[in-house]
């Protein structure tokens, strides 16, 4: 789908206006802030919001989507599940990291001015409040509304006799053979509790000795979290197991049954010294992950003090890390309810379409992507533009084309049955040179990426694991083709992973181009990643860790110079997170000079907008919806000669210092205008969004236009017109 110009009067229009080129200007000497200018920013000691608390505010916005009665019911159910998954990962990684710093005695204040212990205490308080808010929403609103819609989530006491018989049969035939009760006594130490597993704490009494005993039963994750009873009625799996524990503990009296769940530190630490044998080192670390220290204990609020004390003692967890919640625990299982075939309770069906420049008008045969790219650059906007008929087809045609000599590609995350992987294997088996930069340290995808790396190697692909100490996070594919007029490079640079599945749910941008300068830059990049070349100079790319931060700051300062000279000056960033202090201080400096700054941030934002004297010209918005806003865009009016950059880099320390990231300057005026249209719509006054205040709180602006639905509607209009 091609984005069109959007005016403030009609941001939903489907006009065809091309941008009017501005007159060129004489370039002034670059603006360099002096000490006084920098001091005017740095005097604001509290100018940074805390990144961890900002992330919690992001997850609160996810919860607010679940609370929104205007959304379809099953979509609200899914947002409840997403909230849980998000919070799990936050504890596994971020909270675990804070605890590690405290334990190591590294009590360095964050940029926000808070010590790790202070941040941790705020996290506990905020997450406890949000978790109870989620539980209340589930019990008091979602469950009753589901019931009114004919979908019933019930507890064991609500089951009729036939349903109980059904569960009894299922327990006997399928569940009972899988269960493994683990007793705790002098001969049986307290069992290891795996991270995120749902468990039952069982108190038993031996009627012969009158002694009480403790046992743990793990709820098997291989079964559906909510057991179907028929007629769209469901009961939690732990209820079924809890009612049949006598089968497990024959001859014992069941005194108490309580569900609980442990979250563990599951972040990975692979030392650089292990880089020569990175696969083996990572596989060893994956085993260690299962035994990481606990960082959170969730229990049902009905748990007895004695059982809770036992869990706290045996797990080595503090009282602050205990979350007593109404059952059922672990609402990730609501994804299964959200997947029910009740289309009237979901967002209307959406099918991506082929980009207009890649659509064959007179034939049903797939368009030749190479021919289309030679005619014009193609700026893709997923999921509105189909990934399958653009990026995936690009790689597949390259693999099958006898004129293609080489394919070079980065892979950070991809799907389990990836056609991209299959195409690369086909290309290697056909004798083409295939280089794949596989990032096997992609968090929580490590095991899958190890499998793909070995499969690619066995097929004859050159597989490289990137640079020591850096994650390769950029999204770049380069195809080298032998054509009648010589060798031509075709380059794809995107903001999202080469993953056909997530491309249908993530909002991302990508560029397919034959621009010679971009192609040469991409070739240098791959040489840097696979060989000893260390050419850090690029013409049309900014590449972290060498030039993204400095390149963006230089352009922010340049925008100040344009504003001072009376030329058009505007900064617009769209990112998942904005945390880097150097970038933020440069934006503050631009605001103090009067440059308008608009930031569209899905997740974390450590910048305080609207602070008098510091950031009065800065506006920060956040858009969440049915698609995960994932693209990164960096826009500069540049005195009338606009620059628009897209790529993989968020404005975080890890992206700018510890990852290989790539931003590409869009080479064509039409592509730049499409980005202008997208940003105009996002910042239109009636587009619904959350707005960040100076105090770090987010509030919805009440806008009536749904950003993503507007883009879907444009696509429908074009498809109908076509």
Q: Which residues participate in catalysis according to the annotation? A: 473
C-alpha to C-alpha distance for 216 and 262, rounded to whole angstroms: 13
In 3D space, the residue among 121, 116, 122, 114 whose CA is nearest the CA of residue 102 turns out to be 116
Cα dihedral value 416, 421, 423, 426, nearest 10: -110
Q: Are strands 198-205 and 212-218 parallel, antiparallel or unpaired?
A: antiparallel
Specify the DSSP element, H or E, that contains 199: strand 198-205
Contacts of 591 (CB under 8 A, 6+ apart): 597, 614, 615, 616, 617, 618
Say which residues have a Cβ less than 8 Å from residue 460's Cβ, sequence separation at least 6. 428, 429, 434
Give the integer Cα–Cα distance in Å for 62 and 80: 8
Classify strands 571-575 and 597-601 as parallel, antiparallel or unpaired: parallel
Residues contacting 686, CB < 8 A, separation 6+: 11, 703, 704, 705
Q: Take residue 249 and report the two structure tokens written for it.
A: 């503990």
Query: Distance between CA 579 and CA 186 in Å, rounded?
Result: 50
User: Where does residue 103 fall: left (phi above 0), alpha (psi -120 to 50 degrees), or beta otherwise?
Assistant: alpha
Give the residue among 643, 668, 722, 624 at the shortest CA–CA distance from 14.
722
How many Å apart are CA 638 and CA 571, to the nearest integer? Answer: 9
**Residue 76 in tokens:** 């609200």
Q: Cα(1)–Cα(711) distance, rounded to whole angstroms?
A: 9
Q: Which two tokens stand for residue 48?
A: 């940074």
């Amino acid at each position: 789908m091609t984005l069109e110009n959007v005016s403030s009067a009609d941001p939903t229009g489907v006009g065809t206006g091309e941008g009017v080129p501005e007159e060129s200007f004489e370039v002034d000497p670059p603006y360099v802030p002096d000490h006084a200018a920098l001091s005017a920013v740095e005097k604001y000691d509290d100018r940074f919001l805390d990144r961890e608390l900002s992330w919690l505010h992001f997850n609160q916005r996810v919860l607010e989507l679940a609370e929104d009665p205007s959304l379809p019911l099953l979509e609200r159910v899914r947002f409840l599940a997403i909230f849980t998954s998000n919070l799990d990962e936050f504890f596994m990684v971020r909270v675990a990291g804070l605890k590690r710093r405290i334990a190591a005695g590294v009590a360095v204040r964050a940029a926000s001015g808070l010590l790790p212990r202070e941040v941790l205490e705020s996290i506990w308080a905020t997450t406890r409040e949000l978790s109870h808010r989620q539980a209340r929403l589930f019990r008091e609103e979602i469950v009753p509304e589901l019931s009114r819609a004919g979908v019933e989530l019930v507890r064991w006491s609500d089951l009729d006799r036939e349903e109980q018989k059904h569960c009894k049969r299922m327990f006997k035939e399928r569940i009972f053979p899988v269960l493994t009760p683990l007793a705790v006594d002098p001969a049986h130490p307290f069992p290891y509790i795996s991270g995120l597993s749902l468990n039952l704490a069982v108190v038993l009494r031996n009627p012969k000795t009158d002694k009480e005993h403790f046992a743990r039963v793990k709820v098997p994750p291989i079964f559906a979290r909510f057991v179907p009873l028929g007629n769209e009625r469901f009961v939690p799996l732990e209820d079924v197991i809890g009612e049949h524990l006598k089968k497990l503990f024959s001859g014992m009296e069941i005194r108490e049954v309580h569900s609980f769940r442990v979250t563990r530190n599951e972040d990975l630490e692979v030392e650089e010294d292990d880089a020569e044998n990175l696969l083996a080192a990572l596989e060893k670390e994956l085993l260690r992950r299962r035994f990481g220290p606990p960082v959170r204990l969730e229990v049902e609020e009905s748990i007895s003090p004695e059982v809770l004390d036992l869990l706290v003692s045996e797990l080595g967890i503090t009282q602050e890390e205990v979350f007593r919640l109404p059952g059922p625990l672990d609402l990730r299982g609501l994804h299964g309810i959200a997947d029910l075939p009740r289309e009237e309770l979901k967002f209307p069906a959406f099918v991506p379409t082929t980009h207009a420049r890649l659509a064959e008008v007179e034939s049903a045969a797939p368009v030749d992507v190479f021919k289309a790219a030679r005619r014009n650059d193609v700026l893709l906007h997923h999921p509105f533009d189909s990934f399958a008929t653009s990026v995936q087809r690009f790689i597949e045609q390259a693999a099958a084309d006898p004129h293609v000599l080489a394919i070079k590609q980065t892979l950070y995350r991809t799907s389990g049955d990836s056609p991209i992987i299959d195409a690369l294997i086909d290309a290697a088996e056909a004798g083409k040179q295939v280089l794949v930069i596989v990032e096997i340290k992609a968090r929580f995808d490590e095991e899958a990426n190890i499998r793909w790396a070995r499969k690619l190697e066995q097929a004859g692909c050159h597989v490289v694991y990137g640079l020591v100490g850096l994650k390769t996070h950029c999204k770049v594919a380069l195809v080298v083709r032998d054509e009648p007029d010589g060798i031509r490079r075709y380059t794809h640079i995107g903001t999202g992973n080469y993953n056909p599945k997530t491309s249908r749910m993530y909002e991302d941008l990508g560029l397919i181009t034959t621009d010679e300068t971009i192609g040469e830059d991409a070739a240098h990049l791959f040489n840097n990643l696979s060989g000893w070349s260390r050419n850090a100079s690029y013409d049309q790319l900014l590449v972290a860790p060498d030039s993204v931060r400095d390149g963006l700051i230089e352009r922010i300062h340049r925008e100040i110079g344009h504003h001072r000279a009376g030329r058009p000056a505007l900064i617009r960033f769209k990112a998942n997170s904005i945390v880097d202090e150097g970038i933020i201080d440069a934006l503050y400096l631009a605001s103090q000079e009067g440059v308008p700054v608009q930031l569209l941030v899905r997740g974390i934002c450590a910048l305080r907008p609207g602070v008098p004297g510091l950031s009065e010209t800065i506006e920060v918005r956040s858009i969440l919806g049915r698609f995960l806003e994932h693209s990164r865009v960096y826009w500069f009016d540049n005195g009338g000669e606009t620059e628009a950059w897209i790529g993989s880099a968020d404005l975080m320390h890890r992206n700018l210092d510890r990852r290989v990231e790539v931003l590409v300057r869009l080479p064509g005026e039409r592509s730049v205008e499409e980005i202008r249209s997208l940003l105009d719509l996002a910042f239109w006054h009636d587009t619904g969004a959350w707005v960040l205040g100076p105090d770090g709180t987010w509030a919805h602006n009440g806008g009536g236009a749904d950003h993503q639905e507007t883009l879907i509607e444009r696509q429908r209009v074009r498809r109908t017109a076509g």
